[in-house]
A and B are shown apart, each in its own frame.
Chain A
Amino acid sequence: MTFVVAVTIDWAIPRFMPGDPVERLLSRMQAQPGASEALRGYYAEAFGFDVPIWQQYLNFWAALFHGDLGLSIAYFPTPVSELILSALPYTLALLVPAILLSFWAGNKVGALAARRKVLDNTVLPASYVLTATPHMWLGIVLVWLFASTVAIFPVSGAYGLALQPEWSVEFARSFLHHWILPFSALFLVGFGGWAIGMRNMIIYELEADYSNYLASLGAPTKLVRKYAYRNALLPQITGLALALGAVVAGAIVVEIVFSYPGLGTLTLNAIENRDYFLIQGIFLFLIIGVLVANFVIDIAYVFIDPRTRVGMQGGP
């Protein structure tokens, strides 16, 4: 459903926005003689302005199912889908560990901090600063501190200039070395948010009747907290689904800061070159990514919360 809406938006925006993107594109292409003529024909076909509007829409879907997202202008004549697929692994290599680790660590630390004066008064303010930090600024400061001032880490890129992407120890080491700073920028901002959320939820759960009952039975604090943690985790997982959009946004700007060859840097190039097909392609990919992640989270939820499992089996 969301996907249909997303595709429709993707289709409609270039068509119903003021101005003529095709003309604007062609005027930009003057610099590359020869390409201009080829493009004009291509656009006429791609946008298919001569057929009725509903048919344009159906054609758009048909092309989509063939994996045809058009040709890039910035990297003419590479297909958009090819560009995106080659950038995708880098983005995933940053995003997936950053999301999972910050979620895990943030929740653990947040749970520890709740109702413990010293920890609470140190972790909480730090978390608030972190969660209010713009991703790109943290990235910029990390580069300035650890790559520019003290050259521990490389300034930009995903691997050494002399290397080619391949499966080798040398490449892996270089990749990891380049990966740490952008990963840290994403990790730290995410960490702050989860720690705050978990801390608040734990306090709320510790106030609940079952916690008080357990404590009055003489159960050790550790056990009570363990139960509270498991209950507090559920809304946090819902929060994870909601936070995906923000994390994706963070990854885009962080990649730009580090010139990391993922979707973010590709987006910047697309914007700077007004490469509309590429922008539209990235838009679709981001939405597909978030939808898939949502689906995974939904499934994970079933495993974590037994109540939903019962509901699905039509239980009592």
Chain B
Amino acid sequence: MAVSDHERTDPAADRIATLDVAAPTVPTAALLPSGRSEFAYFALRNWKFDLGLGVVLVCVAAALVGPLLTDHEPLAFTGPTDQPPSSEYWFGTTSFGQDVFTQFVYGLRAAFVVGIVAGGIAWLLGAVVGFTAGYRGGWVDDVLNMLTNVVLVIPTIALLIIVAAYVEVHSYATEAILIGLTSWPWAARAVRAQTFSLKTREFVDVARLSGRGTRQIIATELAPNMSSYLLMMFILLFGGAILIGASLDFLGLGPSESISLGLMMNNAFLSSALILGTWWWFVPPGVGIIAIVGGLYVMNVGLDEVFNPKLRER
């Protein structure tokens, strides 16, 4: 085995600061309204969560509303070439006379589609593999763990390059599925480790004694107890997928008929926008990606502090 199984700490720990899922909820009922609103109480008072969420929501809004504000098509050659930002062309135009603002907002859309679909697939795979391996143990665990380690070591980008070179990628959905299928291993590992520590608890024993099936126990006993962990996992997979997607598009392996932030950078680079100094062409896509992914990461830290009082600022 390439990744030997000697004593290594949970790999996800480097981004999701270690979270003690088993810690009983602090009885704050006397001070706070109970249940969901307790989460909301802390979440909305955490500036990191607020900031991250705010930035991401602004991007969502731009992706949803933006295309309505422009009467250009993202790839249509509409205007004069290489225009700096103006009231007519908010973000300027490309060397081909395309409107950068239009490309940008459509690119944001594509980024969200890739993020949600790829992140969702990876999340689902990671959770299913992690829960099954962790809860079943034995040979099921051995097989799944081996699979996880194999996919973990193969660099996602290398696999995607070789697959995308043979499969003509026509839509962002295809690209997202490819990314989703290759980026789940660390999530599976993290879930597996958490499941191991949870499954020896009494409440799981009780559930098992009462004759409930494996799937039911996972869904009703294990998953709810690590819901915070699962939520943060999705956020990280979401952000990661957007970054991988941008790299693929930049390499020219994404769909070429529609626009994306990575493709914008690719076009700008190939048209020597760097040398010509037409910064309005290549700066927005990068800023867009940083805003989405950075927003998600910061939101994640906020959530971490909400769920794990140890990390809260003093």
Residues in chain A within 8 A of chain B (CB atoms): 1-3, 5-6, 9-10, 13-14, 17-19, 21, 115, 125, 128-129, 131-138, 140-141, 143-144, 147-149, 155, 193, 196-197, 200-201, 203-204, 207, 234-236, 238-239, 241-242, 244-246, 248-250, 252-253, 256-257, 267-268, 270-272, 274, 276, 279-280, 282-283, 286-287, 290-291, 294-295, 298, 301-302, 305, 307-308, 311-312
- Contact among A144, A149, A242, A253 with B250 in the assembled complex (CB-CB below 8 Å): A253
Q: A196-B15, A252-B157 are in contact. List 20 more A-B contacts (CB 8 A).
A: A1-B146, A2-B154, A6-B154, A9-B154, A9-B162, A13-B163, A115-B314, A131-B297, A132-B289, A134-B265, A134-B286, A136-B246, A144-B282, A201-B13, A203-B310, A239-B14, A248-B158, A268-B251, A268-B252, A283-B158
Among B7, B158, B251, B298, the most chain A Cβ lie within 10 Å of the Cβ of B158
Instruction: Tell me if B294 is interfacial: C-beta within 8 Å of chain A.
Output: yes
List of B residues within 8 angstroms of A242 by Cβ: 11, 14, 152, 186
List of B residues within 8 angstroms of A294 by Cβ: 2-3, 153
Instruction: Tell me if B269 is interfacial: C-beta within 8 Å of chain A.
Output: yes
Secondary structure class of chain B's binding surface, majority of residues: helix
* Shortest Cβ gap from B145 to chain A (Å): 12
Q: Report whether A238 and B11 are in contact in the complex, using a CB–CB cutoff of 8 Å.
A: yes
Q: Report whether B311 and A200 are in contact in the complex, using a CB–CB cutoff of 8 Å.
A: yes
Q: How many A-B residue pairs have CB under 8 A?
A: 217
Q: Assuming A1-B1, A241-B3, is B268 touching A140 (CB within 8 A)?
A: yes
Which of these binds chain A: B65-73, B118-126, B199-207, B272-280? B272-280
Docked pose: A131 CA to B300 CA in angstroms = 13
Among B2, B10, B153, B247, the most chain A Cβ lie within 10 Å of the Cβ of B153
Q: Report whether B247 and A136 are in contact in the complex, using a CB–CB cutoff of 8 Å.
A: yes
List of A residues within 8 angstroms of B285 by Cβ: 137
Q: 15 A-B Cβ contacts within 8 A?
A: A5-B154, A128-B294, A137-B290, A138-B286, A144-B274, A149-B277, A193-B14, A238-B13, A239-B11, A245-B153, A248-B155, A253-B251, A290-B155, A291-B153, A307-B7
Q: Report whether A283 and B294 are in contact in the complex, using a CB–CB cutoff of 8 Å.
A: no
Q: Which 5 A-B pairs have the closest CB atoms?
A: A137-B286, A132-B294, A249-B157, A245-B155, A239-B14
Q: Report whether A143 and B274 are in contact in the complex, using a CB–CB cutoff of 8 Å.
A: yes
Quick one: closest A residue to B279, CB to CB? A144
Chain B residues 21 to 42 lying within 8 A of chain A, measured CB to CB, are none
Instruction: Tell me if B57 is interfacial: C-beta within 8 Å of chain A.
Output: no
Q: Report whether B146 and A274 are in contact in the complex, using a CB–CB cutoff of 8 Å.
A: no
Q: Report whether A267 and B161 are in contact in the complex, using a CB–CB cutoff of 8 Å.
A: yes
Q: Report whether A287 and B154 are in contact in the complex, using a CB–CB cutoff of 8 Å.
A: yes
Q: Report whether A133 and B282 are in contact in the complex, using a CB–CB cutoff of 8 Å.
A: no
Q: Report whether A235 and B265 are in contact in the complex, using a CB–CB cutoff of 8 Å.
A: no
Docked pose: A267 CA to B157 CA in angstroms = 11
